[in-house]
Structure 1
Amino acid sequence: MSTGVVEGVVATRFAKAVSIGLVAIVGVWHLGLDTLLVLRGWPMYEPQVAAAGAWLALVVIQTAGSVLLLRSALSAHTARMLAGAALISGVVATATYPPGAAIGDVSWAWNTVGWFGVLLLLQRPLWELITLLGANTAVTAGFLAADGALDHVTVSRLLAATYTTAGIQLTFAYLVRQLNDGAREATEAAAAHAEHLARATADETVHTERRRRYEHLRGRVEPLLRGLTERRLDPGDTVVRQRAAVEAARLRRLFAETDDTPHPLLHELRACADIAERRGVHVTLLSYGDLPELPTSVRRELAEGALLVLAAAATEARVTLLATPEEVAVSVVADAPPETVVEPPGLLAVSFLSDQEGDQLWWETRYPVRPAR
């Protein structure tokens, strides 16, 4: 799973948990507390049908908004429409209160509309919630002024109520946004750390494997060079020359493994062909099909047979790389001597075929890209 996908999953789960918690808070607030307040002050509302209608309208708005929010389907347009409908329902409910009771024991809509705003505008810019809370407070202040109850005592109560309602709701929305940002930053940091560890592990693995390969080749090349230096080996001997050609090709292929190329296997085969051409062998390299991405160990075994035959070629060789949806095959035909020893591949799922006709040696190595049906 990619880093971006992991970050998205974590952020989505955190947002879902916050949404569930907020839906529960608003549900308990309206269906629980508001219901008790409406029932307790029921004889004082006028007209009562308007009070009941406002309460029911808010139930519908709450249900629709909660379902859309939990399904991540609450668009900006729908959120604003529902928030506006909640504000209108609050106006209707406040109009049914007794004169001067917009903040009192029978008032319930002001606080509820604010929490509905938090619910519906949670994923919107903070200024939209501030606008709704300001309009909601203005509605309450307007009714108090219309009732002639906006004296200095009531103003003090209104300011205190604003602080304990709109202030708490705005703070809650702000903290939720901060938590969302913190969760996203923590997720990004964790993903970056995990990616760094994965890259470091991969680099260490490649480095260890490369050192192992260097040590392996050193164990083969060093005796050859020491023998030539101490004149225990004759550079004119065919076997010695073939050994030198094989180890030179292996070193060249090892260096080619670290090159950044679009087709590593073809690049490594070219490196092997280059060593043979330096000895005067005419090499033809052909490639057909779209090469899949292959592990280094598989490429190494696919190229090993061609490397050995090219090292034994006298004057000419033809290397063919064929890629199909089912397999990748490397074949080589060269005028190699009959006594050429071709080492079989390793333990991977690489198969090989060989044939000798006159002075022409044919060798083919195959690797199944996907199992045959």
Structure 2
Amino acid sequence: MTFAVVTSTAAFWLLRRRPLPGVVAAIGTVLVLAASSAATAVVPADDFFRDRHWSFGLVGWLLLVLLSDRPALLGGALGLHAAVSVAQFLLAGTPARTEVGDAAIVLFAVTAFQLAIGGLIRLVDRRTGEATAVAAERERLETRAALARQAGRDLRAGFAEQLGATLPLLAGLADGTVDPRSDVARTRCALAAAQLRRLFAENDDVPDPLVHEVTACLDVAERRGVAVTLAVSGDPVDVPPALRRHLTGPVLTALTSARTRARVSVLRTPGLVRVAVVADTTGDGHDFAGATGVVVTSHTQDGQTWMEARWQPA
């Protein structure tokens, strides 16, 4: 009865592919060893380690079920079980030489086989764990490689898109159709340089990509001698790269044509991302909404151009 209860209890966890709790394993081990000692006590002296001593071999298998994931405890429990069985065998009476030989053969064969099965289980578990770890590492590396390939494709596409607007300018400078001394050519060159600088900044690993890209736009204007100030408020908001290009577009446009000074502000809230610029330049004001959901507004008054891009996160 005890053996059946212990087996059923262990099966409850094993069939669910979950390890036995330590308390269950400990209580089950004590019950099995006590039941084995009680069953051995009623075995006649001349039937030890023979057919009527069926509990000896069965207890070892139950201990294997209870303690297979605890090899040290399993070895100790099997050793204790064998020692108690031998002690009861010797105390039952003076055994004959043949009985001692038979007992030794059964004791060694059963215990060694059960220990070997326990070691095999541990080996399979270890190999399974190693194989799982190798598979997880391979999947992680494949994922990183796929992400790297995708990032490379996106980078090449971004460069190709940006260079598509720059190459005509370079071609015009090369064949003389664009005069590098003209204000228009200089403005176009400044805009191309700012666009490329922003493109490089898109691929930097920084905590706040939007402000980082805005700063890159400012850097090009400062190299031209424009005094630029930047004000940032709010916590960083996750803005996709394509939307960041539309948000920083007004900054590029205004800073490219700024003469002496410009003021840029970045506002981030959970419901609004706004990038605005005021510069001492002239231009035609216009309002439009892009397909990306970024709304750009601009106007010019008294030699000051104000441009703003707004995006509302979903």
Q: How does 1:191-230 map to 2 (within 5 A)?
A: 191-230=136-175
Measured after TM superposition, the shift of residue 342 of structure 1 is 9.2
Q: Which of residues 62, 85, 99 in structure 2 aligns to 1:140?
A: 85
Aligned to 1:188: 133
Mapped contact 1:282–1:316 kept (Cα < 8 A): yes
Does 142-151 or 107-116 show the bigger shift? 142-151
Q: Work out whether 1:324 is the aligned partner of 2:269.
A: yes
Structure 1 residue identity aligned to 2:310: R
CA distance in 2, matches of 1:286, 1:131: 72
Larger RCO of the pair (alpha carbons < 8 Å, separation 6+): 1
Percent identity reads 33
Give yes or no for contact 2:48–2:103 (8 Å, CA) kept in 1: no
Secondary structure at the counterpart of residue 48 of structure 2: coil
Task: Give ranges in structure 2 of 5+ residues lacking alignment.
Answer: none
1:102 aligns with one of 32, 48, 52: 48
**Counterpart of 2:311?**
367
1:153 aligned residue: 98
1:130 CA displacement: 0.8
How big is the shift at 1:333?
A: 2.5
**Aligned mates of 1:152, 1:332 — CA distance in 2:** 105
The equivalent residue for 1:242 is 187
Structure 2 CA distance for aligned equivalents of residues 343 and 231 of structure 1: 35
Q: Secondary structure at the match of 2:218?
A: helix
After TM superposition, list the pairs within 5 Å mapping 1:1-373 onto structure 2.
Answer: 56-67=1-12, 70=16, 72=18, 74-124=20-70, 126-148=71-93, 150-339=95-284, 345=290, 347-348=291-292, 350-358=293-301, 359-369=303-313, 371=314
What TM-score, normalized to structure 1? 0.75
Task: Check the 8 A contact 1:287/1:320 in 2, yes or no.
Answer: yes
Q: Provide the rounded CA distance (Å) in 2 between the counterparts of 1:219 and 1:296.
A: 18
Deviations 1:143-175 (A, max 9, x none): 221223643433333333234432232222222
Q: C-alpha distance in 2, partners of 1:60/1:68?
A: 13
Question: Aligned partner of 2:309: which letter?
Answer: T
Letter in 2 for 1:104: R
Deviations 1:56-100 (A, max 9, x none): 233333344444665857443542343122111110111112223
Two-structure CA RMSD over aligned residues (Å)? 2.6
Distance in 2, matches of 1:303 and 1:165, equals: 78
In the superposition, the TM-score normalised over structure 2's length comes to: 0.88
Aligned-partner residue type, residue 191 of structure 2: V
| Distance apart, 1:202 and its partner CA | 1.3
Q: CA deviation at 1:344?
A: 6.7
Shift of 1:213: 2.2
Greater CA deviation, 354-363 or 180-189? 354-363
SS of 1:100 mapped into structure 2: helix
The 3-state SS of whatever aligns with 1:221 is helix
| Counterpart Cα distance in 1 of 2:119 and 2:263 | 71
Structure 1 unaligned spans of 5+:
1-55
Change (3 A) 1:368 1:73: farther
Residues matched between the structures, number: 312
Task: Give the letter for the 1:141 counterpart.
Answer: V
Question: Cα–Cα, structure 1 residues 111 and 362, in superposed 2: closer, same or farther, change >3 Å?
Answer: farther
Describe the shift of the 1:223–1:174 C-alpha distance in structure 2 as closer, same or farther (beyond 3 A). Answer: same
Counterpart code for 1:242? T
The structural deviation recorded for 1:102 is 2.4
Distance 1:80 1:261 in 2: 53
Q: Report the Cα offset of residue 361 of structure 1.
A: 3.0
Q: In the aligned structure 1, how far is the partner of 2:221 from the partner of 2:243?
A: 22
Q: Give the Cα separation in 2 of the matches to 1:327 and 1:340.
A: 22
